[in-house]
Structure 1
Amino acid sequence: MTLTFPPLLFEALLAALLVSVAGGLSGTFVVVRGMGLLAGAIAHAALGGIGVAHALGRDPLHGALVAALLTAFCIWWLRRHAAEAEDIMLSALWSTGMAIGVIAVASTPGYGVDLADYLFGSLLTVSTADLWLMAVVDLLLLLLFATHLREFAAISFDPEFAELRGLPVARLELLLLVVLALTAVLLARVVGLVLVVALLALPAAIARRFTDRLLSMAVLACLIAGLCTTLGIGLSWQFDWPSGASIVIVAATLYLLGLALARLRSAPNP
């Protein structure tokens, strides 16, 4: 008997594993710094870029990247200069970006963009160019974290002390937001904009239960994200479920199992 491995499944697994690296690295800082709502705002605001790019006849992925980066810069600037509460500010950016995207797509003749692919992910639409982009971003993130891990750790655990030590906290925070924006758009190609926060936060949250060291947490988060995406794609292929939702269900299940095991370990012996 000859076993066949469909090329489509191979590309889907490759894409999922590539984004697992970016998701694990960035997700570690999302969990440590409590940036879940911020990550959601960037991801959902990217829909505005998708809609505008479609209206202009451009690649929607490029529009998503531009919108995510602009949103990241707006968040960085507003956090430093605006007096508005952060949750209100992020909610406004979140909803405004989505509204712009929906209006732009709905108002453009032809309606050539399937919003469901971007909202909930579609591995069937991942192209070779997307795979190369994911690989390049992974390499850049690995290089960035290898050279700036101590600085990122300092601003994550105690930004005020980091500033007293003379670290460029503002620039490092902007760099971290740019990384988060790039990662959110890449993850959206696999799980969709709606589910990006789950794949960013859950693997890192699971990893945090096993280690407090930032480097170990990041490595473990990448491995857990890879496990979640692989198992999720397997479920999707076997039962014809949406791939993004399947991946997040696996991640959520592992997270709940981690909570249960932690509760059992901390329970007093009778």
Structure 2
Amino acid sequence: MLSPADFVADLFNPALAFLPKALFVALVSSAVCGVIGCHVVLRGMAFIGDAVSHAVFPGLAVAFVVQGNLVLGGAVAGVLTAVAVAVLSQTRRLKEDSVIGVLFVGAFALGIVIISRAPGYSGSLQAFLFGSITGIPDEDLYVVALSAVALLALAFALHKEFVAVSLDRESARALGLPVFWLDMALCVMVAVAVVISVQTIGNVLVLALLVTPAATARLLTDRLGVMMLLSPLLGGLAALTGIYLSWSLDLPAGGTVVLVATGVFLLVWLAAPRHGLVARLWLRHRGRPVPGGALV
């Protein structure tokens, strides 16, 4: 197995320029998904995150076929799908989850049909679905960095509004907050966060980067601010460790990052000081109340 010192040396090896680029995108994606993912977890939006990750696929496919920018192509597709979900969900005959299910399956199928028309179809589809640390062009680094800064700035600017809607939608609406537009904004932010993560993690696994670190952080703290700090740190740790292991052991980068994040989640689920399984069983054994864990 490659030592950490050798891995650092490879990061500075000019012949392996794709490796630091992949690590950069993975760390930036972890930071963005960690923050946005907190809102996804708190609002029970994991299914919407999964839908968006599939919905961006046709945009990525079109951008690939016309040799355009993948991040911009996926973002356009994700935004259009988010708008379509919000509009079609207004009918009382269908619930939101039904509309999401129809749209994300249709979008994913459209993406497969589009990418099948491109040269090198099999390799392209595998890279889209499962990520590729060798396939990140230099210009995408700038798009990813700028998109990440914009997303984090927007998340900070709308933080109070998002929290109000997450805690009580009806009260937020009574206070005059534009709940529909806040939902729309969050869906769009999820779409962009997914797009900038797809190249290293892959379309199939990107939901894990959005949900798993945030869910892990939720088990460690009852304070929302601390949760939003822990989540990107846990995601970054998973990204760094996963890419190191994948490079050392010749494993798929996206799958390895997700497995590391899942392993950390399971460890915390078992051993978290207040909300872990062991701690809760111990409190029950001692006849003490088990903490509920409401966010403050």
Give the TM interval when normalised to the shorter protein: over 0.9
Q: Which has the larger radius of gyration?
A: 2
Residue of structure 2 aligned with 1:192, choices 202, 210, 235: 202
Alignment partner of 1:164 is 2:174: yes
Where does 1:74-93 land on structure 2 (aligned, <5 Å)? 74-81=84-91, 83-93=93-103
Question: Relative to 1, partners in 2 of residues 1:183 and 1:52: Cα closer, same or farther, differing over 3 Å?
Answer: same
Judge conservation of contact 1:141–1:179 (CA < 8 Å) in 2.
Answer: yes
Paired residue for 1:40? 50
Distance 1:141 1:12 in 2: 20
Deviation of residue 131 (structure 1)?
1.6
Question: Relative to 1, partners in 2 of residues 1:78 and 1:212: Cα closer, same or farther, differing over 3 Å?
Answer: farther
AA of the residue aligned to 1:259: W
Where does 1:61-140 land on structure 2 (aligned, <5 Å)? 61-81=71-91, 83-108=93-118, 111=121, 114-140=124-150
Distance 2:77 2:46 in 1: 18
Give every structure 1 segment of 4 or more consecutive aligned residues whose post-TM-superposition deviation is greater than 6 Å. none
Judge conservation of contact 1:49–1:63 (CA < 8 Å) in 2.
Answer: yes
Distance 2:58 2:27 in 1: 27
Paired residue for 1:228? 238
> Structure 1, unaligned stretches of length 5 or more?
none
Q: Deviations over 1:141-200 (max 9, x none)?
A: 222222221111001111110010111111111111111110011111120110011111
Greater mean deviation of Cα atoms: 233-242 or 72-81? 72-81
Residue of structure 2 aligned with 1:17, choices 27, 32, 39: 27
User: Secondary structure of the residue that 2:134 maps to in structure 1?
Assistant: helix
Q: Greater share of helix residues, 1 or 2? A: 1
Deviation of residue 104 (structure 1)?
1.6
Q: What percent identity do the matched residue pairs reach?
A: 36
Paired residue for 2:280? 266
Distance 1:59 1:134 in 2: 11
AA of the residue aligned to 1:96: G
Aligned residues between the structures: 270
Alignment partner of 1:175 is 2:185: yes
Distance 2:253 2:191 in 1: 22
Deviation of residue 123 (structure 1)?
1.7
